[in-house]
Structure 1
Amino acid sequence: MTLRTVTKNNIHILNDDPSLQTIIFTHGFGTDQTAWNAVAEAFKDQYRLIMYDTVGAGSADPEAFSPNKYRSINSYATDLLAICQEFELKNAISISHSVGGMTSVLAANEKPEYFSKMALVGASPRYLNDTDTGYYGGFTQEDLDNLYQAMSNNYFAWVSGFANLAMQNADRPHLAENFARTLASIRPDIAQSVVRAIFQSDHRADLPRLQHDTLLIHSTEDIAVPDQVADYLHEHIRSSKLVHVSATGHFPHISAPGQVIDAIRQFL
C-alpha cells in the first residue's frame, strides 16, 4: 500500500484480513467516510472494510483536488478504481451513498471483476429534469442556478439551510448539525465546483451496462432523489432490487442505520 494512496483518500481499513470478502464504502457530497460508521460497525466482524474520503472532502489531500480534473463524476470513479487496484480487490461489495452511487456504477462498468454486488443508497443518475424524454429528476435548471447562486452569495448560510432540508428529522436536530459541520469543512470553492459536477451530470445511459446484483435503498421526503428516480433506477438496472426504508431525508444510513443494515444484510 503506497503512502500516496493512503493520504490522497485518507484510507482506513477495518478488520484487515485479506482472506475475508471486502466491503468498500463510498460516501456522498457533504459527508466523509464517518457517515458510514454505524453501518460499518455491523459488518466489521465478518468482512474486511475499506473506508475512504473522496477528493475534496473529509481529510482527503486538498492538494489533490483540481476543478478541471474533477469536473465530472468519472474522475471520482477513476480514484475508486485506483483504490481497488491498490488493494487487489476481486468480487468486493460496494456500498455507496448519493453521488457515490454513480461513482460506483461507473467504476463497476469499467472493471466489473473488482466487484460482486452493489448497494446504492439515495443514488440518482440525473438530478435535472429532461422534458424531451419525460424524465423527472427533481430539479429544473432554474432551481440549480438558484442553488449555485446561494452557495456563491453566502456559503455558510447556505450550508445551514441545506443541511436541514437534506437531513430532515427535525426532532433530532443534532443530525443536521453534524451534517452541516462536515459540509462547512469543505472549502467553498471546492464545494461549488463539486456540486456543479454532480447536479449537471447525466449517467442514465450507464445504468443498463451494470452487470452486478444491485440493491437500491430509498427513503421518503428525499430532497435530492424523488420516488420517480428510485423507480427509474430499478427499471434500468437489470439485476436490481428496490427497498423503501421507513426513514425520511437523504441520509437514511445516518438517520436510520438499523433499517439500512437490515436491508443490506438480507441482500447479501
Structure 2
Amino acid sequence: MKRKVLIIGIGAGNPDYVTIQAVNALNQVDVFFIPDKGAEKEQLSRIRREICERFITAPHYRMVDFETPLREKPSSTYRTSVTDWHDKMEATYAHLLMEELGDDECGAFLVWGDPSLYDSTIRILDRLNAKGNFELDYDVIPGISSIQALTAKHKVVLNRIGESITITTGRKLAEGFPNNSESVIVMLDGEGAFKAIDEDVDIYWGAYIGTEDEILMSGKLRDVVDDIERLRNVARAQKGWIMDTYLLKRSYDEIGE
C-alpha cells in the first residue's frame, strides 16, 4: 500500500501566514506528526496545534507526537554531524509512517516557514523513497518563510537594484561578508556572527518573527550591534532558545542606479 504524505509549510509563526493552499491541504490529513523538541520549545508544538484547530473543519484527524532526535555537536566535521542526525531522523520517520499511518490514510509534517529552506523533511523522505522498503508518495505545500516575514515587517526590499542576494548561515557569515552580494540574509546564527562584520552595512533583524514574542530592530550595524546582542541574550535567557533572522545590506543610496 502506497503511503501518502503532505509536507505543509505553515509560515513563520503567525497563523495568518498560512496560505489557502495549506488550509486545503490541512483538511486532507488524517494523521499529523508533531515534533517534540523539549519543554523549552513547547511553543513551536503549540502553534502547530493552534493552526490545526483554527483551520481544520474535517471532523476526524489525530496527532502523533514524536521526539526529535538531538543533533550532536560536531566531533569531526559539520557535514558528518548532519549526516548522523539525518540517519536518526530517517529511522524516526520510517517508524512513524510504518506504525502510525494506516492504509489509505494521509499523513502530514507541518514545517515551520517553508519546506525548501533550511529544513530537512524533503531530504529525509527522499532517502526513505530511495531505500524502497515501502511506497511513498508526497507533495510539498510552500509556506511564507521568516525571510519574507522579516522584510515585510521592516518594509524593506530584499535585493539591491540589479544585484544578487545571498542566503546563508551564521557559520558561513563568520568567514566574512560575501564579496559577490550586496544583500545577505542570515539564518541559523547561534553565535551572533554579525558582531564580526567590520563593513558599512545596514541590518534588519528580527527574532521569533510572527509570534507574540516578536522582536525587531534595524539601523547601521555599527550603531545597533550592541543593542541586538543584548536583546538576543535577554530573550535566550528568558525562553531558553532563540530563533532569529536578519538581512545585511551594504550602505549606499539606490536612487539613480
Please give the TM-score of this superposition, normalised by the length of structure 2. Answer: 0.37
Q: Which is helix-richer, 1 or 2?
A: 1
Of structures 1 and 2, the one with the larger relative CO (CA 8 A, separation 6+) is: 2
Q: Which is strand-richer, 1 or 2?
A: 2
Please give the TM-score of this superposition, normalised by the length of structure 1. Answer: 0.36
